[in-house]
Amino acid sequence: MSKIQVEELSVIFGKRFREAKELQKQGKSKVEILNQTGCTVGVSKANLEIQEGEVFVVMGLSGSGKSTLLRCFNRLIEPTGGTVVVDGNDITKISEYELREFRRRKMTMVFQHFGLLPHRTVSSNVAFGLEIQGVDEDTRIKKAYEVIKTVGLEGYEEKMTGQLSGGMQQRVGLARALATDPEILLMDEAFSALDPLIRTQMQEELLQLQEKVHKTILFITHDLDEALKLGDRIAIMKDGFIVQTGTPEEILTHPADDYVRAFVENVDRGGIITAGSVMFKNPSAVRIKQDGPRAALRKMSNAGVTSMPVVGDNGKFLGFVKDNDMKEMEDKGLRDIEEYMYTREEVTAVTSETPVAELLPLFLDTNLNLAVVDENRKLIGVVVHSSVIAEMIGKERSEVKQIRQEGGIDL
Amino acid sequence: MIDIPLGDWVEQAVEWLSANASGFFNGITAGIDGMVTGLQSALLFPNDYLMIAVLAVIAYLMTSKGHKPFTKGAWKSAWGITVFTILGLLLLQFMGYWQETMQTIALILVSALIALVIGIPLGVYSSRHDAADQVIRPVLDFMQTLPPFVYLIPAIIFFSVGNVPGVVATIVFSLPPAVRLTNLGIRNVQQDVVEASRAFGCTQRQLLFKVQIPLAKPTILAGVNQVIMLALSMVVIASMVGAGGLGQAVYKGILKADMALGFEAGVGIVILAIFLDRVTQALGISRKQVSDEE
């Protein structure tokens, strides 16, 4: 069963939300509802399932309702309809007291503008959640020091938060959220207020931290690159609706509609698309023991290629051979293709999980294709230059043809 | 022509109250009178010069807050008001106004204290309830714009003459900034800090005492300063109903057209005003602000 289950969740702001709800049922749009009732639809019938231990990112532009959605999880905003079920408990139905306990123990939050207490020191800020629970001072400060160490702020425990840079303040925010040992972390545009270098660094560190702590993290962002980098799964929101949910690769390769397609068009795909999805699977290969130069040449001309991988026993990848070398061997009457095979120094093998961005530099070093191997070094595919380029620019063949017609020079 | 005898109605109400709630007003009278007399005797108990030294030390410690005591930095920020306190109070003592000065301080402190005890909680309440704010705001406007002389009449009827009606009129006049600035301070606490505190499971009470009041403190303390200054500005008016101290000396000066008396007592009020203003202004400066600037 999933950790958090959101069903038909709606938030409507305004006094006449009952009327607005009726209109919503009739399928009226956000603008129509606003015009007729003066109510703003924040979230429209959102459905989500979030698994334990995953980083789930909700991505959308400002006004898409993503922050509102997040605030329904701990009821900082009261939903007007639908349910949020966490571990079998419907959060929308619990009492004030239960809600407080829930916020104290189970789900904490990190804010875009940090929301730290400026009149307190770092350690006292981090200990705030425990203080609210009524934990005694020695215990909570000890715990705070531990968590501060985890987020890499050792030595700053007794500084005032105002003396720290933005990145450091957000570490305090993160430490505060971790100090109560919650199961779920809500992160509302947590890194958006930081400058780009610090943001990247914090993203890396969050991922490293997640390896250690295994929390269920709900991360809100307007930055697609951030979403793709952090998210195990991503939901894309527009005008209060969730338009698509899926893994980063699914979203890039199968955008649900034009909106998502337009979104992912300019994204840096290289880090997400992997060798596995651009390679030619089960390529024909030269077998080192059985095939001589003649057989190799025939295989290459059949496949219409100028080089081919060489495999040993059990399909283990050994190297590449080129057609002109094979011709030379044939002319000289040589048999053993191992002598003319390109191996280690000239040849690189990658796994199917290697991102495309890391493949590009490898091509600089060689004019051979790249071999894709599994954990036993068995050959499973070949990546050629053109498919990497095609993937990086994210255009389809037909689009490329059009660009050629418009921008190319007739010869 | 419609004739609305508003004045008559108010008069009737006041008379009814004084006739039917005399026990209540007598209680208040006894309480306030006890506080003023007690504080007055306490201030007059030590030797005059010892008291001047005590007040100078208070001025020094308050205005050098944020620095380590008795360092160069502390002296640098506090020497002016400390020297002023010593010289000003010596002048009052030499002119023969020591008793009046201490009486005035006692009157102001009692009035201001009561105004704050009523005003700050009221400010907290109106910051959390918009409806209460809507009601309290015009009442405060009314209290601040009605000429203070008008309070004196019911004050005499309820509390007869002497220090007590003076204190009551002073409380009414000086109360509004305590309410307003507390309300403003709490409402102006950054919303994201409040939201974050709620997200961590604060009760309303924890939110108020751990987050809102500490963050609103500079504004609330500015309100404290305002209350004290307004209380001081009432001393002459309060003396018209029999309150003692420097105010009464000024009032006598007016009645007798005695320029010398009026001027000396007037200077005394100015000296007290500067002393109280500087000392209470320093309340609002936190330790951190100063140490950051160093």
pLDDT band (50, 70, 90) for residue A411: low
For B196, which of A111, A119, A160 is closest by C-beta distance? Answer: A111
Confirm if A366 and A360 have CB atoms less than 8 A apart. Answer: no
Tell me the two tokens of residue A13.
């702001």
Angle in degrees, CA A112, A115, A120, rounded to 5: 145
Judge: A176–B286 Cβ closer than 8 Å, yes or no.
no
CA distance to A10, A209, A216, A225, A249, per residue, from A244 (Å): 17, 27, 20, 16, 13
Interface of A to B at Cβ within 8 Å reads 74, 76, 100-105, 108-109, 111-119, 128-129, 131-133, 160, 162-163, 176, 180, 186
Domains of chain B: 20-293 (1.10.3720.10)
Contact A115 B193 (CB under 8 A): yes
Contact yes or no for A108 and B198 at CB 8 A: no
Domain extent listing, chain A:
4-106+182-267, 275-391
pLDDT at A398 over 70: no
Residue with tokens 């990086």: A392
For residue A240, is pLDDT > 50?
Answer: yes
Cross-chain Cβ contact B200/A111 below 8 Å? no
State the Cα–Cα distance between residues B24 and B33, nearest whole angstrom: 14
- The pLDDT value given to residue A265: 77
Q: What is the CATH code of the structural domain delimited by A4-106+182-267? A: 3.40.50.300
Check CB contact under 8 Å for B201 and A129.
Answer: yes
Single out the residue of A86, A79, A123 nearest to residue A103, CA to CA. Answer: A86
**Measured CA distances, A137 to A123, A140, A164, A350 (Å):** 11, 5, 24, 53
Handedness of CA B214, B219, B225, B231 (dihedral sign): negative
Nearest to B192 among A100, A115, A160 (CB): A115
**DSSP-assigned states of every residue in B72-84:** HHHHHHHHHHHHH
CATH classification number, A275-391, choose in 3.10.580.10, 3.40.50.720, 3.30.360.10, 3.10.50.40: 3.10.580.10
Cα of B111 to nearest chain A Cα, Å: 31
Residue A119 to residue B200, Cβ atoms within 8 A: no
> Helices in chain B by DSSP H: which ranges?
6-20, 22-44, 48-63, 72-95, 98-128, 130-145, 148-159, 163-187, 191-199, 204-206, 213-233, 235-239, 246-256, 259-281, 287-293
Three-class HEC string of chain A: CCCEEEEEEEEEECCCHHHHHHHHHCCCCHHHHHHHHCCEEEEEEEEEEECCCCEEEEECCCCCCHHHHHHHHCCCCCCCEEEEEECCEEHHHCCHHHHHHHHHHCEEEECCCCCCCCCCEHHHHHCHHHHHHCCCHHHHHHHHHHHHHHCCCCCCCCCEHHHCCHHHHHHHHHHHHHHCCCCEEEEECCCCCCCHHHHHHHHHHHHHHHHHHCCEEEEEECCHHHHHHHCCEEEEEECCEEEEEECHHHHHHCCCCHHHHHHHHCCCHHHCCEHHHHCEECCCCEECCCCCHHHHHHHHHHHCCCEEEEECHHHEEEEEEEHHHHHHHHHHCCCCHHHHCECCCCCCEECCCCEHHHHHHHHHCCCCCEEEECCCCEEEEEECHHHHHHHHHCCCHHHHHHHHHHHCCCC
Size of interface A-B (CB pairs under 8 A): 69
Residues of B in contact with A133 (CB under 8 A): 201
The whole-angstrom separation of Cα A363 and Cα A47 is 44
Length of chain B: 294
Contact A221, A55 (CB under 8 A): no
Q: Token digits for A378?
A: 């068995």
Does the distance separating the beta carbons of A101 and B201 come in below 8 Å?
yes
Nearest in space to B210 (alpha carbons), one of A134, A170, A166: A134
How many residues appear in chain A?
411
Mutate to test the interface with B, among A78, A100, A220 (most CBs of B within 10 A): A100
Q: Spell out the residues 6+ positions from residue B205 whose beta carbon is closer than 8 angstroms to its own.
A: none
Residues 6+ apart with CB under 8 A from B32: B110, B114, B163, B164, B167, B168
**CA–centroid distance for B145 within its chain:** 18
Nearest Cβ partner of A132 from B206, B217, B286? B206
What pLDDT digit, counting tens, does each position of A257-270 carry? 888 888 887 777 77
Write the pLDDT tens digit of every residue in A342-385. Answer: 886 777 788 888 888 888 888 777 778 888 888 888 888 888 88
For residue range A95-106, list pLDDT tens digits in order: 999 999 999 999
| Interface with A, mutate which of B200, B207, B221, B292 (most A CBs under 10 A) | B200
Task: Say which residue the tokens 């799964």 belong to.
Answer: A233
Neighbouring-strand partners of residue A320? A309, A342
Kindly list the distances between the CA atom of residue A175 and the CA atoms of A103, A104, A154, A168, in Å, as whole numbers in the listed order: 16, 15, 12, 10
Asked whether A202 and A153 are in contact (CB, 8 A), the reply is no
Smallest Cα–Cα separation from A335: which of A381, A395, A292?
A292
b/e per residue B63-76 (b: at least 16 CB within 10 A): bbbbbeeeeeebee
Q: Do A4-106+182-267 and A275-391 have matching folds?
A: no
Residue with tokens 């005590």: B54
Q: Which of A72, A98, A117, A188 to mutate to test the interface with B (most CBs of B within 10 A)?
A: A117
| Contact state of B211 with A117 under an 8 Å Cβ cutoff | yes
Alpha-carbon distance of A125 to A173, in angstroms, equals: 8
Could you say which DSSP state residue B243 is in? Answer: -
Buried b (16+ CB within 10 A) or exposed e, B120-138: bebbbebbbeeeebeebee
Binary contact (A129, B206; C-beta < 8 A): no
Measured CA to CA, the distance from residue A173 to residue B132 in angstroms comes to 35
- DSSP-derived secondary structure for B30-80: HHHHHHHHHHHHHHHSS-HHHHHHHHHHHHHHHHTTTSPTTSHHHHHHHHH
Nearest to A121 by CA among A42, A185, A176: A176
Ranges of residues in chain B whose predicted pLDDT is under 70: 66, 69, 284-294
Please tell me the distance in Å from B199's CA to the nearest CA on chain A: 6
For residues A293 and A298, what is the distance between their CA atoms, to the nearest angstrom? 9
Q: Give chain A positions within 8 Å (CB) of B217.
A: 119
**N-to-C CA span, chain B:** 70
Query: How high is the pLDDT of residue A139?
Result: 93
Percent of chain A whose pLDDT exceeds 90: 33
Q: What angle do CA A33, A34, A38 make, to 5 degrees?
A: 115
Tens of pLDDT, residue by residue over A144-187, are: 999 999 888 889 999 999 889 888 999 999 999 999 999 999 99
Rounded distance between C-alpha atoms, residue B79 and residue B84, angstroms:
8
